[in-house]
Chain A
Amino acid sequence: MIKAKDVHFYYGDFHALKGVNIEIKEKTVTALIGPSGCGKSTFLRLFNRMNDLIDNTRIEGQCIVDNKDIYSKSIDVDTLRKNVGMVFQKPTPFPKTIYENIAYGLKINGYKDKRKISDIVEKSLKDAALWEEVKDKLQQSAFQLSGGQQQRLCIARALAVSPKVLLMDEPASALDPISTSKIEELIYTLKKEYTIVVVTHNMQQAARISDNTAFFMMGELVEYNDTKKMFLNPEKEITQNYITGRFG
């Protein structure tokens, strides 16, 4: 589903990713771990071309999503981003009603039929496990929700445009433990329909939710393996040291 072939990435002169190769299977959860500044978020943002928004950056190598080289000239970036959804670290709802937050992605992608839109809004909120909490206040501002609810709203918003891939950049790091566990459960159920790549700082979280784990350090992919194997018996000593918290 997702492939990276010898990917290098530069912020100006800074060499942020140094020849990363990876292959991610459909409908799995892959956790990207590693110390701050290791390039895991940069790597994640390659796949919906969010890094394009930063000036003076450059990529080499190939990024493939759904058998298409997403950096080739024939790719329409807006369509790519519709197919590859993203959830950010901080909840980032729009200053609109709860309903409009979800409907936004549909409207900009050409949906006109009001009934269809409201059906998808309901389905997305159900899929994001938020429907029961908000069904009576869809016309209220999204800012009235708690942080955890806002984050699930953002997940629902991403799901509404029916992406194939969901990128999550530390989606629970700004939330309390209860909200975090709700997001984790959610990721687990969403795996049935979506390919999920999640950046996390939290080792336990990576161990709980992911099928595969990729460990990044200094812009290199150090180890990429089955999560169980990685946490019980990593191949490299440095991975072992990081996972057990000897540095961080």
Chain B
Amino acid sequence: MRKFKQGLAFSLFKFFAVLVVGILFSIVFFILFNGIKVINWEFLTKSPSNGMLSGGIFPAIIGTIYLIIGSIIFAVPFGVSAAIYNIEYGKNNWFVKIMRIMTNNLAGVPSIIFGLVGMALFVNKLNFGPSLISGALTLAILILPLIIRTTEEALKSVPEDYRTSSYSLGASKLTTIRKVVLPAAIPNILTGIVLSIGRVSGETAPILFTVAAYFLPHLPQSIYDQAMALPYHLYVLVTSGTDLEASRSMAYGTALVLVAIVFAMNLLAGFFRNKMNKLNKRNS
């Protein structure tokens, strides 16, 4: 009877695990199967043409890449610095406590709200207009909580021994953070950044009012230009093209590219992590 119970539990857990993997796998397979048909060199390197029924998605790919780079440039220095302050300097003072509550709440705010605030602040108030810079800043604010949280966790996971050993050799606090704590935390910080990149490349709502263009056959010329972006382009293809049936396959192609970018980012991060973890691994 006990053996039966054990076996039953095992089978149940295994069933659900397989089910989850199966669902995820079928989503990827579905997109791959439907999208691969339209993927060719032209699709990746040409602008949409003929009412988005032919041509490619090149401006949207480039737009998304610009948004990723832009938002990371803004969010990483601020987010990582804030996390360093919280963990290494602030300990648990009232300021850090307030900040923690704020970041936790911010992380749960629907992304459309960020889009609205971004529009009010960057597009209108600061007069950037709908532009790459408005979009990148809005997305940067969106991912700040994520970067702060993951960096905090990364710093917390650095053993206290490293810090005390470093101090015991005459290192100042700043030197200790720069030379010992951050290098040990970087693989985990990178993971947070990659998660953020996934988020940035996929979010539609925050870019809706701040940067995304319905159709823009040329590439943005400056940070004050509007740009196309993959998730918004996908949305356009599915909901408001000239011929929705005909543009469906273009939509799957776009989705596939989007998934591929996120997937490639994850692989890249995994590569970095492995490389650094080799050195970090304790054998005791």
Q: For window 102-147 of chain A, which residues contact chain B by CB distance below 8 Å?
A: 104-105, 107-109, 141, 143-144, 147
B184 at the interface (CB under 8 A from A): yes
Q: Which of A50, A86, A143 contacts B284 (CB 8 A)?
A: A143
Q: Is the CB of A95 within 8 A of B168?
A: no
- Interface 1/0 per residue, B56-99 and A, CB below 8 Å: 00000000000000000000000000000000000100000000
Q: Which of A48, A78, A154, A158 contacts B171 (CB 8 A)?
A: A78
Q: Is the CB of A82 within 8 A of B279?
A: no
Q: Is the CB of A79 within 8 A of B170?
A: yes
Q: Is the CB of B161 within 8 A of A90?
A: yes
Q: Which of A78, A86, A92, A105 contacts B162 (CB 8 A)?
A: A92
Q: Is the CB of B170 within 8 A of A78?
A: yes
Chain A interface residue count, CB cutoff 8 Å, equals 34
B169 at the interface (CB under 8 A from A): yes
Measured CA separation A48–B170 after assembly (Å) = 9
Measured CA separation A109–B161 after assembly (Å) = 20
B282 at the interface (CB under 8 A from A): yes
Most buried by B among A95, A109, A161: A95
Known: A86-B168, A143-B280. 10 other contacts (CB 8 A): A50-B167, A78-B170, A82-B169, A82-B170, A88-B161, A95-B280, A96-B279, A143-B281, A143-B283, A161-B170
Q: For window 41-85 of chain A, which residues contact chain B by CB distance below 8 Å?
A: 48, 50, 53, 55, 78-83, 85
Q: Is the CB of A108 within 8 A of B175?
A: yes
B11 at the interface (CB under 8 A from A): no
Q: Is the CB of B168 within 8 A of A94?
A: no
Contacts of B184 in A (CB 8 A): 94-95
Q: For window 152-204 of chain A, which residues contact chain B by CB distance below 8 Å?
A: 154, 157-158, 161
B242 at the interface (CB under 8 A from A): no
B106 at the interface (CB under 8 A from A): no
B239 at the interface (CB under 8 A from A): no
Contacts of A104 in B (CB 8 A): 166, 169, 179-180
* Residues of A in contact with B (beta carbons under 8 Å apart): 48, 50, 53, 55, 78-83, 85-86, 88, 90-92, 94-97, 104-105, 107-109, 141, 143-144, 147, 150, 154, 157-158, 161
Contacts of A53 in B (CB 8 A): 164, 167
Measured CA separation A219–B101 after assembly (Å) = 42
B165 at the interface (CB under 8 A from A): yes
Q: A96-B279, A104-B179, A108-B175 are in contact. Are A157 and B161 (CB under 8 A)?
A: no
Chain B interface residue count, CB cutoff 8 Å, equals 25
Q: Is the CB of A108 within 8 A of B282?
A: no
Q: Is the CB of B282 within 8 A of A143?
A: yes
Q: For window 239-284 of chain B, which residues contact chain A by CB distance below 8 Å?
A: 278-284
Q: A108-B175, A108-B179, A147-B284 are in contact. Are A95 and B170 (CB under 8 A)?
A: no
Most buried by A among B165, B172, B184, B278: B165
Measured CA separation A161–B169 after assembly (Å) = 7
- Interface 1/0 per residue, B170-183 and A, CB below 8 Å: 11100100011001
Contacts of B165 in A (CB 8 A): 88, 92, 94, 154, 157
- In the complex formed, the residue of B with least CB distance to A80 is B170
Measured CA separation A90–B278 after assembly (Å) = 21
Nearest-CB distance from B260 to chain A (Å)? 33
Measured CA separation A172–B172 after assembly (Å) = 28
Contacts of A158 in B (CB 8 A): 168-169
